Structure 1
């Protein structure tokens, strides 16, 4: 792109940003912010801690969305003004500065545009994410722990609050499974494209002969249940087991039977939670995860019915969707979107936005095609 193209580029970005502002309804976001600020200032807010956290989480998210849009609008307007002044004064250095700003603005506006594609029934929900080690022995367990860190770092980079409900440690290293929540609106719509089987290829650090090992881990993303969902679980359909929490190496981290395992008898779905201090807290967290699993099961069954398909929704991790190769070369590649990078370290450190954005676009294109 040359300097002669900058005015047209500014017009195109302005049109895209106006469309984003319309789709996200900035006026409604501002009304929501004012309403949430009023709720947050109520003197009795913290009498109900769960509601208080929900209000503050939503206020933080809405404020963040408004700030992003306002900053983009301000930067775009400033770039246009700077270009006019630079061209009038023949200031080539400032023209170059506009060109650099247009590159970063294009990327930032494209990221916001992806958000407008999240229009599914449950996309606006918070998310519950489960990771399970698959085939590959101790390497798979280690891989599951690497994925947990990757998603928690991604959330941390964005300032999204998370809560880890359960971490089941493997005997030698890593995790058998882990479950956590991302407590921000649109977390489900954003992360749902991460569901599937992830594959790791590397020289195993657990093999004294230094052989290459392929291991797998499954990621499942579920929408958080809201009061309008009517996910009722009768007591006679639920088996509750309590046991002592444990940490890495089987070492006791609790002297009471505070960990909880819930089994939904009709479906066979099992949920555990041991990261809270009390049995009651663990049971409440486990119940939230179980309800989320049942809601996701219901959502998948409805989708299958609409598509006229019969599919297994009782624990399938879906098709293999991403490969992380550390040997003989370095590459992370999404097998659906062809998105790839030669820097696996940054991916495992939570830099996965490009993969998520490509996944959302791919899903939208697939929906239109069907």
Structure 2
């Protein structure tokens, strides 16, 4: 039986996760950047920028605060709006004008967007319903593509993943808290579960479809039909809440927080989760190098790139846990007061890192093979969230 048996089928007409592999050769970066477009959210709107020059291609009205996630088709961005996930057509790879379309995947409190195995998976926190569609169908459909809707049981801030064989993984919780995950096969039967993951948050799919979920005291790893709990070195609180992955690497880089009462949103350590060895290691960053959930991305050679509070991109080798390079990009900055507040963010596509600098209303493109800033875009607004459509 197909994945459709997991829930009701809905065909419709016209809300840190997962990263695609990012190990393209540096020599292809310029050609790819020429096709890319960058979506930048600001208070009340979204800019779409040219991937090479960082000049504004379009300025679109939106709601006061929106979150942006690539849809996975190289062109579209999912915008979390009050009615659901609204599709932003960036026009990447074409000469077409960007458009915030009328295509909306209805959702009560839209949350996480996951891309894996040719599927795009949308999670609604208000109902815990999961909406799944073939990523490639987004561009070819007139309005919404056909979707599969898997009803939630108890609403919570969660996330779901679908593997290539139809295996469905989803978080378990309710309004009072979240405590683990459940795994179902393509017929809808529960094949594995774990309720020893307090505050479960975030996910990432690594090499060989090993999936990691963060916990307030470690992480869960699902691989080959089994769930393994990995304990953090700090107990009872050692939280990993966001996974930064490459699907060609078995090692997941996660954020890490060991003090539940710490003020602000700065973090000064990362986790390295080896999904083949079932190990979790915490790596402290150098003094003066802090980051937030928006500050880590995977890139060329499966390395991790961290935009630190000192304004530099720090290159982390997940295999060794060592920082191998440091590229100055922006001025030093302080922790946001609220997580929604504008503060530097980094995303990587085809060997180019795009880094926002809200303090100067600008964005920078950095060639990760050299650390050189190859373009700077001066904006008329203060950038907040960012997403790349690579064309």
TM range (shorter): under 0.3
- TM-score normalised by length of structure 1: 0.22
Higher strand share: 2
